[in-house]
Structure 1
Amino acid sequence: MSALAWIAVGSLTAWGWLLLGQGFFWRTDQRLPHREVPAHWPDVAVVVPARDEAEVLPLSLPTLLAQDYPGRAEIVFVDDGSGDGTGELALSLADRHRGLPLRLVSPGEPEPGWTGKLWALRHGIAAARERDPEFLLLTDADIAHAPDSLRELVAAARTNGLDLVSQMARLRVASGWERLVVPAFVYFFSQLYPFRRINGSGSRAAAAAGGCVLLRVEAAARAGVPDSIRHAVIDDVSLARAVRGTGGRIWLGLADRVDSVRPYPRLADLWRMVSRSAYAQLRHSPPLLMATVAGLALVYLVPPAALAAGLLTHDPAAAWAGAAAWAVMAGTYLPMLRYYRQPLPLALTLPFTAVLYLLMTVDSAVRHHQGRGAAWKGRTYAAPEVAGDA
């Protein structure tokens, strides 16, 4: 066989392993586990860190205020130095919609060594703990919840003895770029952190989706969070690792009625979302970056390239192996497209989307080495001296 054919066979072999040996990452059946009505509904505090969120808040905050929760619950809204009137708008919405009581906290600028969101969470959690809740619901300001969301999360945690329950909110898919990039974002995340493996009994793998995390207060104290992960750019994964590292039980899955209302209409918006943390995910390591680029190329770019080159050069082995690898790739993407209610032929575009993610990752590394680090909403974070699990 030609060198191209051997490379294509290598890609097909990699896809065979991903299909069967990576925790069945491509399946989308990990939803909230079995739930029973608890004998007593525990107290819960909903902590919402927010910075310049006036645009999305009218779509998200009323859904939290309207939570149909049988026990005692309150919202601690943390205005993280907003310049667009986010805090005032939150109070206005609370007054207009009533529902759960809302307290506003304004912690000021973060101290050195803290990322903005974790600084906001530190103060929000401290305020919440004044009333001794059993659980904290950490949820982003762009996340809209169904009326029974809090009740279902607490029931799942209580029934299954879980210390952390996280649902990956269904992201908005409306524009052409969102259709191309967003389902792939969740697909790549689940490939990196297979939900079934994380949720397995005795598993050491850990991850969470920061938009919706129900956290037992006792587990948070045991893990020392958020102080123990104060430098983390990828705070949700670091939080899950901290909880699991101290013996906590965690669960992660896809949401059915928890949705992000934040729009990403342009490629530039999606690019910023991904590139701000992509290099942090690689622990700011050039060798890991090079390995990632090579891996992405082998797994996602070789199949269509081998198919095209094989047909042009009359190399049937290369064409066959490339076509087979591309077919497996597309097949594993179909469940995620169904979950996002997108046209199934989009599965064939996954190699192109992978190129975009590869470029976003390289751009993230370039920005870091230029001293611009991870940037979000006017703040830039350099790599911490000890990156830990961030």
Structure 2
Amino acid sequence: MPGAVRQTAAVGAMEWIGAGSLLAWVWLLLGQGFFWRTDVRLPDRRDPERWPSVGVVVPARDEAAVLPDSLPSLLGQKYPGRAEVFLVDDGSTDGTGALARRLAAARGGLPLTVSAPGEPEPGWTGKLWAVRHGIALARERVAPEYLLLTDADIAHEPDSLRELVAAARSAELDLVSQMARLRVVTFWERLIVPAFVYFFGQLYPFRWVNRPGARTAAAAGGCVLLRREAAERAGIPEAIRHAVIDDVTLARAVKRGGGRIWLGLADRVDSVRPYPRPGALWRMVSRSAYAQLRHRPLLLLGTVLGLALVYLAPPVALAAGLAGGGPVLAALGGAAWAVMSGTYLPMLRYYGQPLWAAPLLPFTALLYLLMTVDSAVQHYRGRGAAWKGRTYPAP
């Protein structure tokens, strides 16, 4: 008899967990800024009467493998105004700077300046040190009204810069950022990459980011068009020099300074960086996951429990219900899993992936949970926020 009572209590507890998970998914579906929709693209735009000058700043550290696919796309921009590209070689050991010069000599296009500022000063991340140097060069050479901050692995269609500037001018935006379409070729890229963008949108719903009065602020560091006056008003990049998650921190600084920001998905901006093995994707996520939680153990615990409730509980509840826990438990778990899978379908469609992969999201979420825990472990071992030979402590 005591065993039957314990089993009944366990089933009851599981039903409460299943109900909590289903309620969480109903809220996420309707109350989290419709984060799951993929229709937030560049706002309506028209050509300005005068095209402003633009300085394109590309921080690059050991990027020789991707530059042949990305740099020519920047040099080949069909922009009606004045624009120059400034590639800042951040201590590369693979000939990144020399390769950039050869590509510019062979391909032509926009003027290219390659510079190397040396090792970053204390308190600076390498990328932001390079950005600082690139912005200074752009101010000296171009006196730009806008800065395009773009990563070395990002390839742009020929009209990308024109469209970004037109959007910024038409909507009177101080920051326009597009989430570049990441590469999905290998099995692990197909499994992890669409979920990465999906989770980012869940954390920073684009519609909330783009609402002037909302507190939510974010950007995608691979493609950020920034009005120079807004950057100066916000103290960019000095004010964010320590930031590991530099894109989100940049957007927050601009919005706090009274700037209007916009973030959406890209149609014609793509990352060419390959992640052929799971280890590379693991490092991409884990290097900044604990920094995203501000290095706080309680936030880590809450995140782990939240991920477990929202993503792992539904399939567990369904399996337990079918295994003898009862139809109520199975129905709760199945309904929550169905809503979860439904919200993932638009992102799979955006990335051209088979829609039958949507029910695999709990497994992918489990991987992200483990990456987040590993990020905290590496931080306390003194190897947190490690990237390309550098490790950054918590600010």
TM-score scaled by length of structure 2: 0.97
Alignment partner for residue 329 of structure 1, among 319, 328, 340?
340
Matched, 1:81 2:81: no
Who is 2:352 aligned against?
341
Matched, 1:257 2:268: yes
SS of 1:210 mapped into structure 2: coil
Residue ranges of structure 2 left out of the alignment (5+ in a row): 1-10
SS of 2:85 mapped into structure 1: strand
Matched, 1:222 2:233: yes
SS of 1:2 mapped into structure 2: helix
Kindly state the Cα deviation for residue 281 of structure 1 after the two structures are TM-superposed: 0.1
Query: In structure 2, what residue type is equivalent to 1:140?
Result: D
Alignment partner for residue 51 of structure 2, among 25, 41, 47?
41
Q: Distance in 1 between matches of 2:232 and 2:260?
A: 14
Q: Distance in 2 between matches of 1:206 and 1:105?
A: 31
Alignment partner for residue 356 of structure 1, among 367, 379, 385?
367
Q: Distance in 2 between matches of 1:202 and 1:374?
A: 32
* Structure of larger gyration radius: 2
Query: In structure 2, what residue type is equivalent to 1:116?
Result: G
Matched, 1:105 2:115: yes
Matched, 1:192 2:168: no
Kindly state the Cα deviation for residue 201 of structure 1 after the two structures are TM-superposed: 3.6
Query: In structure 1, what residue type is equivalent to 2:386?
Result: A
Who is 1:308 aligned against?
319
Q: Distance in 1 between matches of 2:382 and 2:349?
A: 40
Matched, 1:70 2:93: no
Q: Distance in 2 between matches of 1:315 and 1:260?
A: 47
Kindly state the Cα deviation for residue 104 of structure 1 after the two structures are TM-superposed: 1.0
Matched, 1:206 2:217: yes
Query: In structure 1, what residue type is equivalent to 2:238?
Result: D
Kindly state the Cα deviation for residue 73 of structure 1 after the two structures are TM-superposed: 0.4
Query: In structure 1, what residue type is equivalent to 2:39?
Result: D
- CA offsets per residue over residues 306-352 of structure 1, 9 Å max, x none? 00001102411110000000000000000000000000011010000
Who is 1:92 aligned against?
102
Q: Distance in 2 between matches of 1:217 and 1:125?
A: 9
TM-score scaled by length of structure 1: 0.98
Kindly state the Cα deviation for residue 204 of structure 1 after the two structures are TM-superposed: 2.1
Tell which deviates more after alignment, 369-378 or 252-261: 369-378
| Equivalent pair of 2:212/2:261 in contact (CA under 8 Å) | no
Query: In structure 1, what residue type is equivalent to 2:354?
Result: P
Q: Distance in 2 between matches of 1:201 and 1:251?
A: 9
Cα root mean square deviation, aligned: 0.7
Who is 1:387 aligned against?
none
SS of 2:176 mapped into structure 1: strand
Aligned runs of 1:1-390 on 2, under 5 Å? 2-130=12-140, 131-384=142-395
Query: In structure 1, what residue type is equivalent to 2:242?
Result: H
